[in-house]
Amino acid sequence: MAIQSLDQLLSASPGYRLPFMKTTATSQAAGRYHSLRQVAGQPGAGNNPPTGNGEIPVMSTAGGITFPAPSGINVNYLAQAVIAGSVQGTLMLYDRLWHNSGLSGTTTTAQTWTQAALTRYSDGLGVEMWMEIYSSIGTTSVTATTTYTNNNNVSDRLATTTIPASTVVGQMIPFALAAGDMGVRSTTQVLLSASTGIGGNFGMVLLKRIADIPLNATNVAAVMDTFTIGMPDVNTNAHLCAALLCSGTSTGIIHGTLQIVQG
C-alpha cells in the first residue's frame, strides 16, 4: 500500500537511516557535475560498466546505496536527507537505470550498441541521458549527438551536448533532448563532431533523478524533511547513486544520512 496520510507516515517512521559518505575527488570546474559512484566511501566504489551493450544495474550492483526490501506491496519513500559537504554544491540523488562504457573520444563515426529495455521507469518519462568519463578523452571540445527513443516511443530522436576540453575522470555531462521530449526509453548510438584528441573511455548513462539536495554552507548539514524533499518513491531494485554539481575543482568530503520509509 502507499503512504497517503500523516498517520501512515508516522507509523512507518523512522524506517531505515542509511549512512552516506564519499571522500574528496578532483572535479573539472564550477558548474560541472561529478559522479560519486566510483569514489571511495559508503557505499563503496563501483566499477566501470560493461563495454558495448552495457547493463541494467540493480541494487546488488557495486556502487549503489542499499536498503532492505519492503514487505508485501509496500512502497519505498525517501523521507529525509541530512547531508553536509566540505565544499558547497548540489547533490543529485538518482536511480541509475542503464549504463555502458568503452566508447572512444577519437572515433568520429557512429559508435553503436544494443540497449536492453529498461526494467524501471520503462515508459521513459522523466528519464535523463548523460555521459560519464571513465578515463581522459583529450583536450579538444567537441559536440556529441545521440540517437534515442523518447517517452512516447518515437525513435530516431536526436540529443546533443558539448564535451568540454580536458574532461576529468568521473565527470558527468547531461544531454539536451529534442524539443517536446520528456524522457528517454532507450539509446542506440553516439556520434562525435570531431576527435577529442585521446581515445580514453567514456560511456552513456540513463538515470531517473530522485532528489536534489543543496549544500549551501560548508560543513553545515542541509536538512530536507519529508515535506521539503517531497517523499519521492524509490524502486525496490534501484541502483541509487549520487553526483555533485560542483562549485570548484573538488567535490570535497560529503557525508550524512538518508531516511527510507516503507508503507
Which value, to the nearest 10 degrees, does the dihedral of the CA atoms of residues 144, 121, 233, 81 take?
Answer: -20
pLDDT single digits (tens) 60-81: 999 999 999 999 899 999 999 9
Region 26-48: what's the mean pLDDT? 98
Compute the distance between CA of residue 162 and CA of residue 142 in angstroms, rounded to an integer. Answer: 6
Average pLDDT over residues 136-145: 97
Cβ distance 238 to 145 under 8 Å? Answer: no
Q: Any idea of the CA torsion for 129, 212, 243, 103, to the nearest 10 degrees? A: 0
* Reported confidence tier of residue 4, pLDDT bands at 50, 70, 90: confident
Distance CA 178, CA 164 (A): 21
Using alpha carbons, select from 71, 76, 70 the residue that is nearest to residue 210: 76
Whether the CB-CB separation of 256 and 118 falls below 8 Å is answered with no
1: pLDDT strictly greater than 70: no
Query: Average pLDDT of 43-66?
Result: 98
For the residues 183-190, what does the mean pLDDT come to? 98
Q: How far from 247 is each of 20, 34, 86, 251, CA to CA, in Å?
A: 20, 11, 11, 8
**What would the mean pLDDT of 180-202 be, rounded to a whole number?**
98
Q: Cβ contacts of residue 183 below 8 Å, gap of 6+?
A: 121, 123, 124, 125, 126, 127, 128, 150, 151, 177
Residues 221-247, mean pLDDT to the nearest whole number: 96
pLDDT score of 140 more than 70 = yes
3-state SS string over 16-85?
EEEEEEECCCECCCCCCEEECCCCCEECCCCCCCCECCCECCCCCCCCCECCCCCCCCCCEEEEEEEEEE
CA 25 vs CA 148, 184, 245: distances in Å: 31, 29, 13
pLDDT at position 83 = 98
pLDDT for 10? 79
Q: Are 241 and 96 in contact (CB under 8 A)?
A: yes
The SS3 assignment for 199 reads coil
Provide mean pLDDT across the span 155-169: 97
pLDDT at 219 > cutoff 90: yes
Query: For a pLDDT cut of 90, what percent of the chain falls above it?
Result: 94
- Cell readout for 206 is 540513463
Q: How far apart are CA 182 and CA 10, in angstroms?
A: 34
Q: What is the pLDDT of residue 143?
A: 98
Q: What is the mean pLDDT of residues 123-130?
A: 98
